[in-house]
Amino acid sequence: MGPICTQVTPVDELIANVFTNLPENYQNHRWLCERPILATKNNVVNVINTQLLQQIPGNTQCNKSVDSVPDQTQMVNYPPDFLNSFEPPGVSPNYLSVKVGAHIMVLRNLDPPRLCNGTRLVVKKLMPMLLKLQCFLGVARVKMFHLRISMIPTDMPFEFKRLQFPFA
């Protein structure tokens, strides 16, 4: 039995040790589920995800969120570029990059118990405002289409709304 946890310093070394043959194995769901990487901060997760996504063959689709403040009188105080810079926990990033065959994770309880926070999905088809997804774990291998949804973070000093796919 191998080590339970291994610490490595550069992210490249971590990815090379955990995902040895990603371009050949990214469609093997069991292989991917046996290779978790734990990170303490969203910015580290974003770096790892970006590097892994680059190794998967195919074209990347970048989905930019639409950020706004519900109180229209406050729009001057909170311009979109300022709102785009936030990455609160449980909210999709401003830029969500995906590819066909990439694995993503649900960040919100959308349709409990079937589609909950932490559910893993695989991208089957990319469309400008719609993703075709498949849940690959459990008994039901459900295929679904998903639109962007409004997410309002609750742990911010002010209220803002992000329209984005609820995945990371």
Whether pLDDT at 100 is above 90: yes
Contacts of 125 (CB under 8 A, 6+ apart): 100, 131, 132
Does residue 52 contact residue 86 with C-beta atoms inside 8 Å?
no
16: left (phi over 0), alpha (psi -120 to 50) or beta: alpha
Whether pLDDT at 4 is above 70: no
**Per-residue pLDDT reduced to its tens digit, 142-163:** 778 888 889 988 888 888 899 9
In DSSP terms, which residues pair with 106 in a beta bridge?
Answer: 167
Query: Tokens 């909210």 identify what position?
Result: 91
In DSSP terms, which residues pair with 151 in a beta bridge?
Answer: 162
> If you average pLDDT over residues 128-138, what whole number do you get?
81
DSSP state of 70: S
In angstroms, the CA 46 to CA 20 distance is 19
In angstroms, the CA 59 to CA 125 distance is 11
In DSSP terms, which residues pair with 95 in a beta bridge?
Answer: 64
Higher confidence at residue 3 or residue 73? 73
* pLDDT at residue 45, as a whole number: 83
**Per-residue pLDDT reduced to its tens digit, 15-50:** 888 888 889 998 888 888 888 888 777 778 888 889
DSSP state of 163: E
**Per-residue pLDDT reduced to its tens digit, 49-85:** 899 999 999 999 999 999 999 888 888 889 989 999 9
Question: What are the φ/ψ torsions at residue 150 (nearest 5 degrees)?
Answer: -85, 130
What are the structural domain ranges in the chain? 1-57, 61-168
First to last CA, the chain: 31
Structure tokens at 128: 């400008």
